[in-house]
Amino acid sequence: MKHVVTIELREIKPKQLRKALAEHLRRQGVDARDIDAMGTRDLLGEVMHELTSQLAAIVEDTAELTVRG
């Protein structure tokens, strides 16, 4: 059985999104130089990977994630 989860980020400007994602990753211990080298899509991918891992731990299974945007 397939379950689809859609996350839409509305009403957020690109600079705001990048700043929020970067700050979250800094709090998680990601090196600032690594963050600066990433594009917004890469930053979003890192955060989505974290969310997917948390979901997989909750349901005790692996989850497949496709990021579009």
Is the distance from CB of 56 to CB of 63 less than 8 angstroms?
yes
Residue 17 pLDDT greater than 90, yes or no = yes
pLDDT tens track for 29-59: 999 999 999 999 999 999 988 888 888 788 7
- Identify the pLDDT of residue 60: 74
Kindly give, in sequence order, each residue whose CB lies less than 8 Å from that of residue 50, ignoring residues fewer than 6 positions away: 28
Supply the pTM of this predicted model. 0.75
